[in-house]
Chains A and B, each alone.
Chain A
């Protein structure tokens, strides 16, 4: 089988790629995409940990993470739609309404 360390490193790599994407992206939709990448990294680690210990708890935890991700994407996309309606672009550099 595949050693568990490989799952760890892949999950950490995916998580840091998602983290990098959230920190430096300007497009709101791509920020949401990076959040999804981070959630996928956590899911991968849940499943790998469940397989390592021989239990089903990690798989059920991954199930609930997917449900929460679906609800969060729903609300996040609704907010992105509102943002687009207000400023007619999805650039986060143009959110300047609280200044001055």
Chain B
């Protein structure tokens, strides 16, 4: 996953050093903000909805039919785009 010659790159060189401090700060701030905002939510909750495949399929094909068809078209366009981008030129 690291590519060729990954053993030669030191651990300190694998990251952008100039962004590490700022990125850590941003990540921790986000985490702290979310944890602070939800501090009242730790009560046990009962599982209400039975997510059966039949109910899910009914919802998907009646209420959400338009997003379903649009995302299938989007997948088709994604395949075309990947084909067009990754094709080798026959030159």
Question: Given A13-B31, A82-B85, 20 other A-B contacts at CB below 8 A?
Answer: A1-B45, A1-B46, A4-B41, A8-B41, A20-B24, A23-B23, A24-B15, A24-B19, A25-B14, A27-B2, A29-B3, A30-B1, A52-B45, A54-B48, A56-B59, A59-B56, A60-B59, A60-B64, A74-B79, A77-B82
Contact present for B1 and A5 (CB under 8 Å): no
Complex Cα distance, B36 from A8, in Å, reads 11
Q: Binding site of A, secondary structure by majority: helix, strand, loop or mixed?
A: helix
Contact string against B for A residues 57-100, beta-carbon threshold 8 Å, 1 for contact and 0 otherwise: 10110011001101110110111011000000111010000000
Do A56 and B56 contact each other (CB < 8 Å), given the known contacts A8-B34, A23-B26? yes
Chain B residues positioned under 8 Å from A54 (CB to CB): 48-49
Do A26 and B16 contact each other (CB < 8 Å), given the known contacts A60-B64, A67-B71, A68-B74? yes
How many chain B residues sit at the interface, stated as a range, is: 35 or more
Residues of B at under 8 Å CB distance from A? 1-4, 14-16, 19-20, 22-24, 26-28, 30-31, 34-35, 38-39, 41-49, 51, 55-56, 59-60, 64, 67, 71, 74-75, 77-79, 81-82, 85-86
Complex Cα distance, B34 from A60, in Å, reads 24
